[in-house]
């Protein structure tokens, strides 16, 4: 059987299962979504957002890309962030990276991957900023995993530096920004960082909303 057909069969089985638990399972979801969380994760197939945190349809707004990056010129990401934060009013934004991330690993190498070099360049920049710390780590896997953690921290910074989040922090004291890392070998998540609406923003990235009468 063609491999993809099993996906469609699995969908049928899933619908039946959902309806057995709750006959109105889909009825209640058809009009609106009110997720409390925005998940920004790696596109890696081994880190399925819904599965690892047990959320149901309607609970999680999701954006995934290679190495869970938040780039300030990426209109796809920024549109997702703006919609989630301003319209859906999510209370929590979770950036979830994972150890042994292929994207981060590729960025640490000298290999030429073509177009994707431009995406991975952002991680190379982070490597350069933290080179002194990273080069003290002898073990290659440990160094990669430390860069995975630092990368998560830097993406939280990028989110906090957007006008989208700064405005909401000021107006509604949300969202909270969480940095988590997923361990592929154990299946467990680890909380690494938390940015709250009271967190300091590096001065040069701070916007003056009063002047704009917002
Ligand atoms: Co990855």
Query: What gap in Å lies between CA 160 and CA 20, rounded to an integer?
Result: 42
The CATH T-level fold of domain 32-205 is Beta-carbonic Anhydrase; Chain A (3.40.1050)
Enter the tokens of residue 22. 């709750």
pLDDT for res 193: 98
How many C-beta atoms surround the C-beta of residue 170 within 10 A? Answer: 13
Query: Domain residue spans in the chain?
Result: 1-31, 32-205
Enter the tokens of residue 111. 């290999």
Q: Work out the angle at residue 204's Cα, subtended by the Cα atoms of residues 157 and 78, and round it to the nearest 5 degrees.
A: 45
* Dihedral class, residue 17 (left if φ above 0, else alpha if ψ from -120 to 50, else beta): alpha
Query: What is the whole-number distance in angstroms between the Cα of residue 159 and the centre of ligand 1?
Result: 19
Given a contact cutoff of 8 angstroms between Cβ atoms, the answer to whether 75 and 69 are in contact is no
**pLDDT, one tens digit for every residue, the chain (214 residues):** 688 999 999 999 999 999 999 999 999 888 888 999 999 999 999 999 999 999 999 999 999 999 999 999 999 999 999 999 999 999 999 999 999 999 999 999 999 999 999 999 999 999 999 999 999 999 999 999 999 999 999 999 999 999 999 999 999 999 999 999 999 999 999 999 999 999 999 999 999 987 555 5
pLDDT for res 32: 84
What does the DSSP 8-state code read for residue 133? H
Which of helix, strand or coil describes residue 176? strand
Given a contact cutoff of 8 angstroms between Cβ atoms, the answer to whether 58 and 34 are in contact is yes
pLDDT for res 31: 83
Burial group, residue 22, by CB count within 10 angstroms (0-12, 13-18, 19+): exposed
Which of helix, strand or coil describes residue 182? strand
Query: What is the whole-number distance in angstroms between the Cα of residue 76 and the centre of ligand 1?
Result: 19
Query: What gap in Å lies between CA 49 and CA 40, rounded to an integer?
Result: 9
Longest dimension (CA), the chain: 63
Q: Identify which of 177, 179, 180, 154 has the alpha carbon closest to the alpha carbon of residue 166.
A: 177
How many C-beta atoms surround the C-beta of residue 78 within 10 A? Answer: 16
Query: Residues with catalytic annotation?
Result: 42, 44, 46, 98, 101
Query: What is the whole-number distance in angstroms between the Cα of residue 133 and the centre of ligand 1?
Result: 22
Query: What is the whole-number distance in angstroms between the Cα of residue 97 and the centre of ligand 1?
Result: 7
């Amino acid at each position: 059987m063609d491999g993809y057909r099993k996906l469609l069969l699995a969908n049928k089985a899933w619908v039946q299962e959902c309806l057995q638990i709750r006959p109105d399972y889909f009825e209640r979801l058809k009009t609106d979504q009110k997720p409390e969380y925005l998940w920004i994760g790696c596109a890696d197939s081994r880190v399925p957002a819904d599965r690892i945190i047990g959320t149901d349809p309607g609970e999680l707004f999701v954006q995934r890309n290679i190495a869970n990056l938040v780039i300030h010129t990426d209109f796809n990401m920024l549109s997702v962030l703006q919609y989630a934060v301003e319209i859906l009013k999510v209370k929590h934004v979770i950036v979830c990276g994972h150890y042994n991330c292929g994207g981060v690993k590729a960025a640490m190498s000298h290999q030429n991957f073509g177009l994707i070099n431009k995406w991975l360049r952002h991680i190379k920049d982070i490597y350069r900023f933290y080179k002194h710390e990273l080069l003290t780590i002898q073990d290659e896997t440990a160094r990669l995993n430390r860069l995975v953690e630092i990368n998560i921290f830097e993406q939280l910074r990028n989110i906090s530096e957007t006008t989208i989040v700064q405005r909401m922090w000021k107006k509604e004291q949300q969202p909270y920004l969480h940095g988590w890392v997923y361990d592929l070998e154990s299946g467990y998540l680890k909380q690494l960082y938390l940015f709250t609406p009271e967190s300091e923003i590096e001065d040069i990235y701070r916007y003056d909303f009063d002047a704009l009468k917002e």
